[in-house]
Structure 1
Amino acid sequence: MGVDSWEMYCQTPNWQRERMMAVNHFHDPGGQFEIAEVLLSEAIDDGDPGGMKLLSLLLNSGAKHPLELDMGLGKYHRPNRPGSIVFVSDQLPSEIQGVGPFHSIAWYIRPDVLQQRASRILGREAPAMDVLHSKSFRDDAIEVLLKRLLHQFESQPAAGARMTADDLVDDLIRRLLALTENQAPAPLGPRDRLRPASIQRTLEYLHANFSQDVSRDDLAQAAGVDPCHFTRLFRQTMGQTPSRYLSQVRIEHAKHLLRYGSSELTLNEISARCGFYNQSHMGREFRRQVGTTPNLYRVYS
């Protein structure tokens, strides 16, 4: 039996409900990660990890009691409130038990891929993220990014029309790193962060206009907040400043053009297409983020 919506699942008689039904399950063509929208009537896991790290976002729950988890660091409970997140280790034995129904988004990534991408983003060896395995938490940025990533695979938009899956995965990893460095994924107060809808509008604006001159006021208008408070709210929500985030988006697009674009494209043309002032500006940012020059990256990538 298959269902394609939470509403249909809730209307299905109990005796017909299966323990697990994957509504949508997508594989990254490169084999680095998977994402799925799943419905669980019961959650049971008592065994060794499956070799993939799991980030799970609860969308809805009809359970009477919280889900009980133990990732090898002590038992804790995931509340049944939408937006609750758990990050499951690939190395620690896991125990999960609870009677649903649970409706969630599950993102799986190979640990070596996570480490490599995190280290590339930081420009140094990335820290372990074990602190995030010991409790359930909420984070508006992760919630928005997981929903956008699932939608990216569901809708399969034209190339360049929206944020790419790789962009979204890098954003997820940046946010996990920020939470790890803060040592506490405890939520900020509602006045200290951007709301999910504001985050989504801001990220969409950044990815649609990265080649242009993007100002703080432009982003604040997209987010629907006072420009005087926007930079602080963005940093507390995303773990970095808007200008740093924009620079990372531009460098990712520069890397794409260097690797897959026409060899006749000059560095000046690439820098202009990616929103940099000139070739020198792009070169400085490229070396800072990637650790090499654009020319060498083009030759050896």
Structure 2
Amino acid sequence: MNQSPSPTPASSGPNQQPFSSHFMSKYVQPAVSDRDFRNVEYRLHNRRSVALYRCSRDFATPSTPKPDFMLRLHLNKFPAQHEVNYGGGWLKRMPDSYVLAPPNVDSRVRGNLQNHFTSLILVFPETELRQVAGELLDAEGKHLWQPPSKELHDTSISTLMRQLWESSCSSAPAESVLIEGTFISLVGRLLLSGQQKRLAIPKYESSASLITSKALNYMQDRLSEKLTLEEIAKAAGVSRSYLIRVFAQATGKSVHARLIELRIERAKQLLIQYGRNMTLDQVALACGFWDGTHLTRSFFEHVGITPQQFRENS
């Protein structure tokens, strides 16, 4: 069996270690001893009590109840040959379909259990859902606790899940903001999944410019730091979900995208001002990038040339 190394338990914050220990014991350890699993990779996010894992299996088995929400995305390009029931109905894993299983439900399986299938799974506790959704959870999110009666298709859910997976493997400073923003957006889509009609898009708030200005000033003053979305929202005096909405309304961009632009702009200033008196690693650290390689990759994506070429042309 090809087993990827188990993740290092998260250690930041008083509530992180218990979830990490719980996840390791309830999710990782059973898979380690399960010979039907192949190529299992786990990723924990240090700043949030969320975890992802991607696994391939050749044999479907029922699962015991877990105390967390489990969002499963079927990655195969063909339907699975078995069906799963989380208490609400029999579900056949169709390509790019997802299922949200609430806490403390078990699953049953039927059909051809010996078939290959691959899943991307997000696990998170109820506390994370409540922290993000706030009062909306009681008003609009009651359906999230219902056993799934059908599998769903939503390109946004699929895209956000894949984006979470890709960004969770990076330790770059800006990725933490991206992960938090993506998770908040994902919770928003899950809340909408139970609506007969989409929730009305709020009108442009009159305070959006002031909130956005505070967020931008906070980021501008701390470009060398490992900023989180929570810190930026707190500086702007609003919640993370509210900041994401008004920031996009005011700028047409996400907080993460604008943060990267600010870091690139600062890098340009340093390259022009100090030339070869600063190494690319020094410029990178001063602008919040992980190292010179990370700076070069992001710089090229946004500017079209490398920092070295920019410095030579300046």
Q: 1:105 to 1:253 in 2, by over 3 A?
A: farther
Query: 1:90, CA displacement in angstroms?
Result: 0.8
Structure with greater proportional strand content: 1
Shift of 1:83: 0.4
Q: Deviations over 1:57-105 (max 9, x none)?
A: 111166662x3222222x32223x3201111111333224543311111
Cα distance, 1:35 vs structure 2 = 0.5
Unaligned regions of 5+ residues in structure 2, if any? 5-33, 223-231, 244-314
1:167-195 alpha-carbon deviations (Å, 9 max, x no partner) = 11101000000112338xxxxxxxxxxxx
**Partner residue in 2 for 1:35:** 52
- How high is the sequence identity, in percent, across the aligned residues? 18
Within the candidate set 65, 68, 77, 2:91 is matched to 77
Match of 1:142 in 2: 157
Aligned pair partner of 2:72 in 44, 56, 80: 56
How far is 1:141 from its partner? 0.2
2:189 to 146, 166, 175: 175
Describe the shift of the 1:288–1:100 C-alpha distance in structure 2 as closer, same or farther (beyond 3 A). Answer: closer
Q: How many residues align?
A: 199
Name the residue aligned to 1:23: 40
Residue 130 of structure 1, CA deviation: 3.3
Using a 3 Å threshold, how does the CA distance of structure 1 residues 125 and 254 change in structure 2: closer, same or farther?
A: farther
- 1:45 aligned onto 2:58: no
For 1:35 and 1:164, locate their aligned partners in 2 and report how far apart those are by CA, in whole Å.
15
Secondary structure at 1:151's aligned position in 2? Answer: helix
Match status 1:89 vs 2:106: no
Distance 1:256 1:123 in 2: 29
Deviations 1:211-261 (A, max 9, x none): xxxxxxxxxxxxxxxxxxxxxxxxx7xx664987xx99x9699679869x7
Secondary structure at the aligned position of 1:105 is classed as: strand
Question: Hey, what does 1:164 align to over in structure 2?
Answer: 178
Cα offsets for 1:10-56 (capped at 9, x unmatched):
xxxxxxx9411353211121451101111111121153x11111101
The question of whether the paired residues in 2 share the 8 Å contact of 1:132 and 1:180 is answered with no
**Structural RMSD (CA):** 4.4
In 2, are the aligned partners of 1:57 and 1:106 still within 8 Å (CA)?
yes
TM-score by length of 2: 0.51
Task: Report the TM-score, using the length of structure 1 for normalisation.
Answer: 0.53
Structure 1: state its 5+ residue gaps: 5-16, 184-235, 263-272, 291-301
Letter in 2 for 1:147: R
How do 1:269-288 and structure 2 match up within 5 A? Answer: none
CA distance in 1, matches of 2:150, 2:123: 18
Structure 2 counterpart of 1:169, one-letter code: F
Other structure's SS at 1:142 match: helix
Alignment of 1:104-253 (within 5 A): 104-119=119-134, 122=136, 127-128=141-142, 129-131=144-146, 133-154=148-169, 156=170, 158-160=172-174, 164-182=178-196, 241=201
